[in-house]
Structure 1
């Protein structure tokens, strides 16, 4: 008899995405939505798909919130899915094969294909963009206190699935810039808490100027990001800007704290 699957998703004002996401996994045994106080109809849409909706607010952080969602799951396996991601039919078939067992691994990497500025990005280090998202319940938890890029921690050796998970990441430029501004603020705060505040002139130049330039050069030229056309150019240009922003914000945060303390 196949083992059961819970899909765990955190959400906040995801009415534009959540139906597409849940439609792709409506075959799962359990759909768990952990909402952080949506003011749109995210919850109503989720409930129309039979999802069990829970609320946890204020938002404690990405890793922390996803761990709460995981704790609500009751199936043998957990598929961690963001509210703007979709499981393709090919990937769904593979997951069902894992559930049919006996599974060779207790966790699996899933390749993710990102839609950015209207183009599916396949170069520059953005594909296959594997994520550890499918794992046996109790075998993995996410890192906490590390910002939006928290990832499940698994002690064993994961398997690798072939089917793509589609990520409707940043279909428009304004949406991308808004997210990068918000993410860089969160990552800047975490960097400042770890003492990465670019106090010396050399550290400031490296973090705010040279590191972003090196990031762009490596991803755009050496990892063939230029093959993704104008969209690839904009992506890598603004991604390097994000790298600069987060360290600049960490520096500014430390400077404000120093002034307030009179140091």
Structure 2
């Protein structure tokens, strides 16, 4: 009889004391929980340890992709479940994961359906559901090096969809959400600039308008009511911040060459 595969839940965290307890409770059944702390000044570390997690430290920030790589190095399980403090594994998703662990290793990557909260509503449209993310995978695989919007390097492994949702408390506070998006936009622009990507002023506005139309019309954001309308505007604003920041970096570099 094949032994059950061991599961390592892995997460990176900084100042997540408010969200961490519910997250850790939703994965308390895992064989081990690894938390890589990035210099928290609140009770994140104590909460994680009290919940039985193994806590490690890496305060030097090299981007989301490399930070997830660092965290995974401490894991010893056969399978990795990579989650964030603002995510929760629902009972149906747990059942699906347990079924995977009961099977022999296959090298398969599993995608989870993420249900995203936006201002009190779990969105069903707007491109936010089903928000498929590849989070359950063999330990031999890892994340790429992206500073932001990092993703799993599947190396051609087969991908299978799991039943059950991963709840994501994406936006509970609009200002805090936008502050986080602004940081993402800055990292995105810096990464693209370093790769030699350029952006004209016209494309700043066309991309922004396209983001609104894509969310509200093509992805049926209007069916999510008031939140769908607001999300379309927020997505347009985020896109504007990304491309205008890239334009500004390009412009500054061009002036420096004069």
- Give the TM-score category using the shorter length: over 0.9
The residue number in structure 2 matching 1:189 is 190
Q: CA deviation at 1:49?
A: 0.7
- Structure 1, unaligned runs of 5 or more: none
What are the superposed Cα offsets for residues 24-62 of structure 1, whole Å, 9 maximum, x if unpaired?
Answer: 000000000001100000000000011000001211100
Q: CA deviation at 1:262?
A: 4.5
Conservation of the 8 A alpha-carbon contact between 1:35 and 1:56: yes
What is the aligned length?
A: 255
2:118 to 116, 119, 126: 116
The residue number in structure 1 matching 2:216 is 220
Bigger shift: residues 153-162 or 99-108:
99-108
Report 1:227-238 matches (<5 A).
227-238=223-234
What are the superposed Cα offsets for residues 71-114 of structure 1, whole Å, 9 maximum, x if unpaired?
Answer: 11001111001111000011001101110113565210000000
Conservation of the 8 A alpha-carbon contact between 1:105 and 1:159: no
Residues of 1 paired with 2:253 and 2:14: CA distance? 31
Partner secondary structure for residue 164 of structure 2: coil
The residue number in structure 1 matching 2:252 is 256
Q: CA deviation at 1:123?
A: 0.3
The residue number in structure 1 matching 2:150 is 150
**RMSD of equivalent CA atoms:** 1.3
The residue number in structure 2 matching 1:180 is 181
1:126 to 116, 125, 128: 128
Partner secondary structure for residue 130 of structure 1: strand
Residues of 2 paired with 1:5 and 1:192: CA distance? 38
The residue number in structure 2 matching 1:204 is 201
Normalising by structure 2, report the TM-score.
0.95
Q: CA deviation at 1:148?
A: 2.2
Q: CA deviation at 1:257?
A: 3.1
Residues of 2 paired with 1:133 and 1:229: CA distance? 30
Q: CA deviation at 1:188?
A: 1.2
Normalising by structure 1, report the TM-score.
0.93
